[in-house]
Structure 1
Amino acid sequence: MKKLDIKTMVAIGIGAALFFVLGRFVAIPSPIPDTSINIQYAVLGLFALLFGPIAGFLIGIIGHTLVDLSWGAPWWSWILASGIFGLVVGLGKNIIDLETKSLGLKGIIAFNLSQICGHAVAWMLVAPGLDILIYGEPIDKVFAQGAFAGLSNTATTAIIGTILLVAFSKTKVKKGSLHIEQ
């Protein structure tokens, strides 16, 4: 396993802190019990894409644990689902190389395909499956919660995450764009 560099460890700390703040103070209530509309997955998606799957996984796990602890007790199935989302999106780091290449339409499409897959796995499989196995929750309840979370998180990540991704890519200096003044 590759060691995490200082830059990635700092990014994990900052990403988890942002995840916590957004998850704790900017969650929008929803009509589904114990489920909210969240924007922190857009930030998690960007950080996972920039720093890779391990960072994405850890940001999701740490950030979601902090959110749950601030409300009372951790809900491990959903915490793990957040980590899985970060891991899946982070796998796109090598496909969408923001360090050396321009973003482009292909990069935006690849980001959104990865975040859709990540949310589907996290909220349609991992969270409901573990809710049933760990907590003995009713099947219809957990799949309704998972479906709502998956769809709403996909929408917020598509909108806000894409905006963040495009904005970040515009901050990168492109190769050959600097010229010596005469």
Structure 2
Amino acid sequence: MNKTLSTKLVVAIGIGSAIYGVLGLWGFSIAPNTFIKPALALLTIFGAIFGPIAALLIGLIGHTITDAIAGWGIWWGWVLSSGIIGLFMGFVQKRATFSVKNGTYSKGDIIYLSSTGVIGILLGIIFAGAFDIFIMGEPFDKIAIQVGGAIIADVLVFFILGLPIVLGLVKANKKNTQLKIEK
């Protein structure tokens, strides 16, 4: 197995990280320091196209960029959370029946992506909350509100933006097998 990253994958990680980093600055406030951030959909899209390692790195690098640009310091628990979410979003790309490029998927692939996406969000956000409480010394009640809000926000973005965009890309690349050649 080739353990090096291809040039295409490195470029995708760079572009995805930059876009995720800049778009991460934009969102709708729903609780203290908690936002609905449409940028999360990018982890779903890049994960489905390029796989779990790419989406993991895009989440890590992109969130670091967001925090650095915003000027509030880098919150490593939340950076790692974005990486965890990206990792889980990318698992679908490893399924034999799923390919954005070839336009192939099954109902099982959509169920799998939906499940791994939600699991990744839950694990990532709960990890970030625990990190903030135990490492950063943040108060439990504040973090409980942030974690609850972030889970709801991320699940909404995933199902309203991320999943439909991935399905649209797969369907756009689907080969029409209904065509017949007439003689």
Under TM normalisation by the shorter chain, which class is it? 0.7 to 0.9
Which residue number in structure 1 is paired with residue 20 of structure 2?
Answer: 19
Is residue 57 of structure 1 aligned with residue 56 of structure 2? yes
Is residue 162 of structure 1 aligned with residue 166 of structure 2? no
Task: Look up the equivalent residue of 1:97 and give its one-letter code.
Answer: F
Task: Look up the equivalent residue of 2:40 and give its one-letter code.
Answer: Y
Which residue number in structure 2 is paired with residue 108 of structure 1?
Answer: 110
Is residue 45 of structure 1 aligned with residue 18 of structure 2? no
CA distance in structure 2 between the partners assigned to 1:132 and 1:62 by the alignment: 23
TM-aligned CA deviation for residue 37 of structure 1: 0.7
Name the CA shift for 1:181/1:44 in 2 (closer, same or farther; >3 Å). Answer: farther
The answer (yes or no) to whether the contact 2:48–2:166 under 8 Å persists in 1 is no
Is residue 172 of structure 1 aligned with residue 168 of structure 2? no
Name the CA shift for 1:178/1:9 in 2 (closer, same or farther; >3 Å). Answer: farther
TM-aligned CA deviation for residue 45 of structure 1: 1.2
Name the CA shift for 1:170/1:74 in 2 (closer, same or farther; >3 Å). Answer: same
TM-aligned CA deviation for residue 87 of structure 1: 0.9
Bigger mean CA offset, 132-141 vs 87-96: 87-96
Which residue number in structure 2 is paired with residue 148 of structure 1?
Answer: 149
* 3-state SS of paired residue (2:112): helix
Task: Look up the equivalent residue of 2:83 and give its one-letter code.
Answer: G
Which residue number in structure 2 is paired with residue 135 of structure 1?
Answer: 136
Bigger mean CA offset, 165-174 vs 70-79: 165-174
Which residue number in structure 2 is paired with residue 66 of structure 1?
Answer: 65
The answer (yes or no) to whether the contact 2:24–2:66 under 8 Å persists in 1 is yes
Task: Look up the equivalent residue of 2:39 and give its one-letter code.
Answer: Q
CA distance in structure 1 between the partners assigned to 2:181 and 2:11 by the alignment: 34
Task: Look up the equivalent residue of 1:146 and give its one-letter code.
Answer: V
CA distance in structure 1 between the partners assigned to 2:8 and 2:180 by the alignment: 29
CA distance in structure 1 between the partners assigned to 2:89 and 2:98 by the alignment: 13
TM-aligned CA deviation for residue 93 of structure 1: 1.6
Cα deviation code 1:43-85 (max 9, x no counterpart):
1111112211111111001111111111111111100100011
**Structure 2: 5+ residue runs without aligned partners?**
none
TM-score normalised by L of structure 1: 0.88
Segments ≥4 residues shifted beyond 3 Å:
175-182
Which residue number in structure 2 is paired with residue 7 of structure 1?
Answer: 8
Q: CA RMSD in A?
A: 2.2
Map 1:89-108 to 2 at 5 A.
89-95=89-95, 97-98=98-99, 99-100=101-102, 102-108=104-110
TM-score normalised by L of structure 2: 0.87
